[in-house]
Chain A
Amino acid sequence: MDFGGINPAVLVASLMVASVPIMLAAIGELVVEKAGVLNLGVEGMMIMGAICGFITAVQTGSPVLGFVGGALGAAALALVFAVLTQVLQANQVATGLALTLFGLGLSSLMGQGYVGIKPPLTGQVPFGPLADIPVLGRIFFSHDPMVYLSIAIIAAVWAVLKFSRMGLILRAVGENHDAAHALGYKVTRIRILAILFGGAMAGLGGAYLSLVRVPQWTDGITAGAGWIALAIVVFASWKPWRVLVGAYLFGGISVLQLNLQAAGARIPVEYLSMSPYLITILVLVIMSSGKGRASMSAPAALGQNFHAAR
């Protein structure tokens, strides 16, 4: 069951783990952008989630509380963004970039006393005999709870956006905030809630990095994962299940190239490293040309500020 010296079951299992942080951050950003807000501060929110989650987990000894703390910490940073852009009408692009820089600095400050400490361990979900099934057991039944939770969140976001009244309102706000306002929906309030959700998701992703995947705190732990999450949202053309595909693709190729190297395969590393970005460009070109154009489906009011007086 080996392919070029690599066991595919092991590869799939590790790409599922590697993709969790970017998947969570991307699904959060998807909801934010569906509501018509462009928050470029994902990287900053992720790293705030990483440090807040780490501190909470170390202080309480509970990984679960750690994840909650990470989500809350990042949501608090997202609230800053929400106040600036939704209440004070600041430019979303500039505010988002500032949020990233602020998050990186603040997390470094908060993490001063937490370098070199080991967080409490997050265990696997006990599936009992299921985990011993060859191949499938390794792929599906040998992970920590966050792997399953992240997939559940994708499904939930998909269902809410597609089938519920709440999803319809959110999309209306993102497509045409003036019309939504005229119908009596509270555009600003809905957008602030979406931004907070996006922050919490980015925080969960960041906490996953510092509590499970690396598990430790070091300055700059996210190392650009937030930007990849932003790219995945565009790659996924704002569709939840495609976020899952995109995250597995990006995470998978990064894991694959390391595994290929470890297995001694003679494939130039550089080509594999750039392939996700090549695919993104390719998808964008195909989607934005001719008939595919409609399916591109960027929210029409994306990045535009809304003020009820206008």
Chain B
Amino acid sequence: MNRRTLMATAALGLGLVFGGSANAAGMDKVKACFVYVGPVGDGGWTYQHDQGRLALIEAFGDKVDASTFQENVPEGADAERVLTQMALSGCNIIFTTSFGYMDATNAVAAKFPDVKFEHATGYKRDTDNVSTYGARFYEGRAVIGTIAGRMTKSNKIGYIASFPIPEVIRGINSTFLHAKKVNPDVTISVVWAYTWFDPAKEADAAKALIEQGVDVIVQHTDSTAPLAEAAKTAGVVGFGQASDMAAYKPSPRVSSIIDNWAPYYLKRVGALLDGSYTQVDSWEGISAGEVEIGEITDAVPAEVKAEAEAVRDAIGAGTYHPFTGPINKQDGSAWLADGVTAPDGDLLGMNFYVEGIVGDIPQ
């Protein structure tokens, strides 16, 4: 260790000490760092997280240094190395933006009690400097489900699903319930692609669905390939996933679910600056601006657009919950009684289809 690195380390140590002690009373300057699972240019998941980072720079200016991020960090041992490096380099708050970083985040957080860690879509908070955050995407699915039910002429909706986990099953159920509400004859075909990102396979899945007579495609995979496939057949529409996917406007992309992480990032970094920061388990939706519905294009009739916007606004105002009884499970047994809304625990562990969906969830 030469003198320069020694001094840098000492300065860093001091910074950490003061950073920690200044915490309770707020901080003058916060360094926020980000770990991404994909490239910023993926046009979907990671792109949206990076938009949140840019919003921090925009909003706080000199008070926040949000220039540090790392792309394509594999989920696993590498993540731990990257996180340690970031914590050592003076980051005050680190956002880890993929489910697979859960263990690495908690392991590194235990070693750096003065650094705040924020883990997206996870549930483990081993030490009190780890918070978790997610978004209620099923609220957005309710809105596009409404559009899907109205737009389909063949009464067949296709759903390209990734993995059979509660998050995805919740989306399928929410889409189907709301499509059925406006169109009682509607059926949904689910294709499990077993991938978050494989453009060729996603395109094949879309093609298979279209050949089965599906004319509305909803996707829970990250690439724009299903929209590109839908564009080849007249009359087939789809929705943007995670980001707006505006390149496919006005059709086949008729609307989209947009992940907007900016409000959450602003809130958390703001809390760190003014000293009000506490550990949270955040799960916000349309009302907090974390889930947005992308522009509904002119390919959708005006009355359908108005209907979808009414659903969106009712969810946003808190007057309507997408899972409001009576709802039965697929096997006909009762889940929610009339007027009862689903408790978060049921939603977070959802492992069943609602009544009316044909097929089994792979185990």
Contacts and interface: CB of A to CB of B under 8 A. Distances in A.
Interface of A: 5-7, 10, 14, 18, 21, 108, 111-112, 115-118, 209, 213-216, 218-223, 225, 254-255, 258-259, 261-264, 266, 268-270, 273
Nearest to A214: B199
Please provide the 3 A-B residue pairs with the shortest distance between their CB atoms, ordered closest to farther: A258-B208, A223-B198, A262-B208
Contacts of B38: 219
The listed residue with most B CB atoms (<10 A of its CB), out of A18, A258, A273, is: A258
B185 interface: no
A249 to B, nearest CB: 15
Contact of A112 (B41, B199, B228, B359): B41
B199 A116 contact: no
A59 B18 CA distance: 54
A218 B43 contact: yes
5 contacts: A10-B211, A111-B41, A116-B43, A209-B200, A259-B211
Given A115-B41, A258-B204, 9 more contacts: A14-B208, A18-B204, A111-B41, A214-B225, A223-B197, A223-B199, A258-B205, A261-B192, A262-B214
A263 B198 contact: no
Given A214-B225, A214-B228, A223 B362 contact: no
B8 interface: no
A214 B247 contact: no
Contact of B362 (A14, A111, A112, A269): A269
Contact of A266 (B39, B158, B214, B360): B360
Contacts of A209: 199-200
Nearest to A224: B198
A88 B203 CA distance: 42
B207 interface: yes
Contact of A118 (B191, B194, B247): B247
Give the secondary structure class of B's interface. Answer: mixed
Contacts of A214: 199-200, 203, 223, 225, 228
Interface string B322-362: 00000000000000000000000000000000000011101
B279 interface: no
B212 interface: yes
Nearest to B227: A216
A216 B232 CA distance: 13
Given A115-B41, A262-B191, A213 B212 contact: no
B81 interface: no
A216 B203 CA distance: 11
A213 B200 contact: yes
B201 A264 contact: no
A112 B42 CA distance: 10
B177 to A, nearest CB: 19
Contacts of A215: 228
B192 A269 contact: yes
Contact of A254 (B43, B158, B204): B204
B212 A223 contact: no
A5 B199 contact: no
Contacts of B190: 261
A120 to B, nearest CB: 13
B224 A216 contact: yes
A146 B360 CA distance: 38
Nearest to B156: A262
B199 A262 contact: no
B23 interface: no
Contacts of A273: 194
B221 to A, nearest CB: 11
